[in-house]
Amino acid sequence: MSVILMSCKKNLANRDMSKKKKIIRKAGKLAQDGIAKLTTGWEIEIDGKEYKISFSRDNLHVWIDGEPVETTAYISDKGYDVDMFFDIEGHSGHIFSDVDNDRDEMVNSLNINDNCVAKCYQKAH
């Protein structure tokens, strides 16, 4: 899996969540098989401290430094795009994940305080 860091081309903070299904996930609750399925992860720095943030599209979980955190997720009706919101040390985190059918890739971006800090592309499967 390759990670490409780049700026976001559109402001994800202004996305309309009213047309999406809202799901609140309890931290640490895994799928029925009990296995965490990671989609991607990033290592970032906030206020001089390093964090590792990972997430799963499969079960809408987010982990910070290996510890699960509670998320509020919004999913489109078709289930392709996902917005996950969480808190990290007094900052607002937002992961946006969608399938880019033109490129046959999944795009995942990490936003902290409404600023894109990391983005990666993965082959869709």
DSSP assignments along 55-112, one per residue = EETTTTEEEETTEEE-EEEEE-TTS--EEEEEEETTEEEEEEEEEETTTTEEEEEEEE
Taking only the tens place, the pLDDT of each residue in 47-90 is: 999 999 998 887 788 999 989 899 898 887 665 788 999 999 99
Domain around 65: 12-28+39-123
Tell whether the model's pLDDT for residue 1 goes beyond 50. no
Q: Between 76 and 107, where is the model more confident? A: 107
The total number of structural domains that make up the chain:
1
What residues have CB less than 8 Å from 3, skipping those under 6 apart?
Answer: 40, 42, 118, 120
Higher pLDDT, 15 or 40: 40
Of residues 88 and 120, which shows the higher confidence score? 88
Q: What is the CATH number of the domain that holds 51?
A: 2.40.128.180
**Is 1 inside any structural domain?**
no
34: in domain: no
Asked if residue 2 is part of any domain, the answer here is: no
Any domain includes 73? yes
Residue 95 counted as domain residue: yes
